[in-house]
Structure 1
């Protein structure tokens, strides 16, 4: 019986690394599957900050994931990275892949956005998934506590308003010549609420 599994965590918790490992392990057993992502910092591939990557299908808002699975039939699995950015309808299509095609789906994503609120895709995955679990690789806040929030830092200050989707990274970068410097910082709930970035 196929399952829809949703694994979530903060940035730096190893979501993409685990997705790539599962894809590698299943492919090595002569199983055929699809690797999908959206808005990956490196384009049409799943990348890990550990330096591993694999080509992936880019999920755009108009891509029908059930039709994609059906058109690539027979497949044994689908691995979906960055599902927080998938539409609720696409999350439902993944559940249809499981139920109607009996294909295992492994989904990975962030739980909350920079405001500490559920992404639409995440919310729907939590509602639909047969299994959902937090990744066990715990990222840490600057204070040493478990990181629970992905804070958006604009020009050196934590912000709580703005567009939900703004792609950035966790690394500090030089101030751009034009526009804002945007990055993300992993914080515990306490320092997220206070907007404190440490020293």
Structure 2
């Protein structure tokens, strides 16, 4: 029986590179994968799925209204899909997270979702919250804080490298906008000077 997996971590933990390695492994065995990523990340120079270590691959893009399940089932009927891989899974809607569960349960297709657990204020993303509740397996990937502890949080920074404490939940960016930190240093950054 297929399962729904949620691989979560802070920024810079290797989520996209792990996903792309998994896609490569399936391909090496002659198996077809269905790759998905959030349409919200439209930065120039980025492949549909890009890792910071230089790996990239084209992928289907999803928005809040995309019927991922329907598209995968249609593709699966034409040429068997061995696995569905979703990058930036924090941007899935709750309904789309349940679509991922149905792909595993009703269509027997393993689904591996990779994404952030929380935003820059420590709040769960909608897709991450749903996946944390329904996934068959939760796997935490590790990043490292500047102090050497496990980084579990993401701090948004401004152009001067100072923590940003307010704003929209989603602002697309990489190392120029976000820093992975342990909870202690995240709390200090969000509290600010006393």
1:165 to 2:170 alignment: yes
Q: Which residue of 1 aligns with 2:51?
A: 48
Cα drift, residue 43 of structure 1:
4.8
92-101 or 187-196: bigger deviation: 187-196
Cα drift, residue 159 of structure 1:
2.0
Structure 2 gap segments, 5+ residues each: none
1:146 to 2:150 alignment: yes
Residue of structure 2 aligned with 1:62, choices 42, 60, 65: 65
Q: C-alpha distance in 1, partners of 2:86/2:97?
A: 10
TM-score of the aligned structures, taking structure 2 as reference length: 0.89
Structure having greater relative contact order (Cα 8 Å, sep ≥ 6): 2
Q: Which residue of 2 aligns with 1:194?
A: 188
Cα drift, residue 71 of structure 1:
1.0
1:32 to 2:32 alignment: yes
Q: C-alpha distance in 1, partners of 2:185/2:53?
A: 26
Whether the 8 Å contact between 1:37 and 1:44 is mirrored in structure 2 is no
Structural RMSD (CA): 1.6
Whether the 8 Å contact between 2:47 and 2:56 is mirrored in structure 1 is no
Whether the 8 Å contact between 2:2 and 2:110 is mirrored in structure 1 is yes
Q: Which residue of 2 aligns with 1:185?
A: 179
State how many pairs are aligned: 184
Q: C-alpha distance in 2, partners of 1:51/1:43?
A: 10
1:36-65 Cα shifts (integer Å, max 9, x gaps):
111345555111111011111111111101
